[in-house]
Amino acid sequence: MKTPMRPGKICVCVLLGLFIISFMTPYVSAQEKFRKTPPLPYPLPDLNFPSLESFILSNGLQVSVVQRKPQPFIDIHLIILTGESLSPDDLPGLASFTANMLFKGAVGLSASQIEEQIEYIGGDFSVSTYPDYSVFSITCLKDYLNDAVKLLGQILTQADFPKIEVNNVKRDMFYNIARNTNPELLGRKLLFQILFHNHPYQKYVFNSSVIKRLNRKDLLTFFDKFYIPNNARLLIIGDVDLSEVTNITGKHLGQWEKKNVETYHINPPAPKTKPKICFTDLPGADETTLFIGYVLPRDKTGNYFSYLVFNQIIGGSHISRLIMNLRETKGYAYWAFSGIELFGNCGLFSVKAKVKTEYLYPSVKEILKEIRSLTMNKIPNHEIEQAKSYLIGNFPIQISGHKEFSLKVSEIVALDMENIFWKNYYENIMYVNSSAVFKAFQNVRLLNPVIVIVGDKDVVLDHIKEFEEVEIYDNEGIFQYKLKKVIENDST
């Protein structure tokens, strides 16, 4: 049983308590002044890229060198300046097929032997095909530059495209497309198909039925026509010097035969005259994935940086408008981002979002509202400055690995962007202001979007009834039918 405390004792305890608290307070709450507020940054450091030095071999191959010291790797990129847009109209995919076959055999070398040779020099290898070009990338230890270029020369001049590998590559391509259940890839593919309908860039996406028609004969024709030194660029990045590269490339690639190269001009795609909404079914999809895209003109002037700032404000990061609105404020979406891509003749601005299916319609409305608001009104300065701060801080991170750096350089070389990108990146971003963004979008009206919805038909159909007209596609991009909004008559 507890004994009640006497009043005198209580007073002593209270006084003691107060004394202890008063004694402790400075230690509990005191902190150095500098801890209370975030420190200011130092002055912005310079962003200096090493120079790009170029020379042309007698067969027309332009070789560009970027010296980076000390670096134990060499990154080699062979760029063929023909991409999927020059595949025959009835054979989209031929450019990708040809590119995927290139390292699959040469006279006296099987595909496995080529793989082994690349790994022997501490290297790896990748192939990518885009609408305007294909790029073959080899990374190796710097002691093996000669071996890598020798192998490349052997493959380019003695490629034999073995029949067994033709079948293997076709099988891999077929299954990659047919088994693709990734909603983001499916959505992007359909977006590209609709945005570039009847334009050569449409051939960048193709379905699995095309793969059956790809054959070795067409491949050889495409290879002979486009895989020629005067239609290519070679980029070498690492701890090398120009004279070493001149000797090695002359020795191993000088024999690559020059041919006449036809010039093709691809016009930019015509602007869309009305919005289009498309849906593709992905049975079992948990949520709905959304793409909204617009074609931008290819801009070789400063407008490109205005586009970048605009993109940053609307959906370039986790603190951009779309994610703050759709996820943080309204709870419609899990995420929502936007991006800008550049091609030879145009650009692409697109938004992608994963939304809760019941909020599909309001999500689309909100995204379009945000785009309209940003293009019709001047953006507040603090948002412009915030976006610029992000872009300036983030760009060097994107190229901080040697492979990322060299891939960026290969994109710059392939799309002839050296002047706008390589030089003065920071300055170009800093010059952007609210008026520049506003002006850039006076010429580029983002009025008629292509909207692509990917989700489970059984769940999504109820929620797309709100749209006026929706085109339904299968997940290979084949048009099925149209759904039109039913307007209920009020018979009373």
Partner 1 sequence: MNLKRLVIFCLMVHFVYTGFSQVKQTEGQEPFPFSVHSLKNGLTVILSRDDNLPLVTVVCAYKVGSAYEKKGEAGMAHLLENLMFMGSRNVGPMQHIRFIHRIGGEFNAVTSWDRTLYYQTVSSNQLPLVLWLESDRMNSLNLEYSTVEETKNLLIETLKNQNKEDPFRESMLVFDRLLYPDFAYNHPIIGSEEDLKSITVKDVRNFYNTYYKPNNAVLCITGNIDEEDTLNLVRKYFSTIDPSKNVPPAPSFKGDFTQEKQEQISINEAITTPGFRLGYRIGSPYSNDFYILSMIDYLLFSGESSRLYKRLVKRNKLALSIGGGIEKRKDLAAFKIFVLSNNEATKEIAKKALFSEINRLKSYLIPDRELIKIKNMYKSDYMENFYSPEKRALFLTQYYLSGNDIRDLRGELNKYLRINSSEIIGIMNRYFTENHVLVEMRGK
Q: Which residues bind partner 1 (CB under 8 A)?
A: 31-32, 34-47, 68, 71-73, 112, 115-116, 119-124, 139-141, 143-144, 317-319, 386, 389-397, 399-402
Closest contact distance (angstroms) between CB of 400 and partner 1 is 4
**Minimum CB distance to partner 1 smaller for 228 or for 387:** 387
Nearer to partner 1 among residue 193 and residue 406 (C-beta): 406
How many other C-beta atoms lie within 10 A of the C-beta of residue 268? 16
State which residue, 73 or 359, has the beta carbon closest to partner 1.
73
- In eight-state DSSP terms, residue 136 is E
DSSP state, residue 334: E
Tell me whether residue 180 is exposed, middle or buried, using C-beta atoms within 10 angstroms of its C-beta: 0 to 12, 13 to 18, 19 or more.
middle
Residue 141 vs 185, nearer CB to partner 1: 141
Minimum separation from the CB atom of position 42 to partner 1 (A): 4
Length of the chain: 492
Nearer to partner 1, 154 or 389 (CB): 389
* 158, 163, 168, 174 alpha-carbon torsion, rounded to 10°: 110
Report the alpha-carbon distance of residue 139 to residue 24 in Å, rounded.
62
Nearest by Cα to 314 from 227, 390, 234 = 390
Shortest distance, position 360 Cβ to partner 1, whole Å: 22
Q: Least CB distance from residue 391 to partner 1, whole Å? A: 6
Quote the strand ranges of 363-478, DSSP E.
450-455, 469-473
Reduced DSSP (H G I as helix, E B as strand, rest coil) percent helix, strand, coil of the chain, to 5: 45, 20, 35
Nearer to partner 1, 143 or 262 (CB): 143
Shortest CB 80 distance to partner 1, Å:
23
Rank residues 343 and 390 by Cβ distance to partner 1 and give the closer one.
390
For the CB of residue 59, give the shortest distance to partner 1 in the complex, in Å.
31
Specify the residue, 68 or 197, whose C-beta has the smaller distance to partner 1: 68
Token pair recorded at residue 398: 């994107």
The residue (of 368 and 392) whose beta carbon lies closer to partner 1 is 392
Min dist. Cβ of residue 134 to partner 1 (A): 21
Q: In what order do the strands lie in the sheet with 124-129?
A: 52-56, 62-67, 232-238, 73-80, 134-141, 124-129
**Residue 401 burial class via C-beta count within 10 angstroms: exposed 0-12, middle 13-18, buried 19 and up:** exposed
- The three-class DSSP label of residue 403 is helix
| DSSP tally for the chain: helices H, then strands E | 17, 15
CB atoms near residue 414 (< 10 Å): 21
Q: Are 326 and 366 in contact, with CB atoms under 8 Å apart?
A: yes
> Which residue, 232 or 336, has its beta carbon nearer to partner 1?
336
Cβ 385 to partner 1 shortest distance, Å: 11
Least gap, CB of 264 to partner 1 (angstroms)? 35
Q: Torsions phi, psi of 24, nearest 5?
A: -80, -30
CB of 451 to partner 1, least distance (A): 28
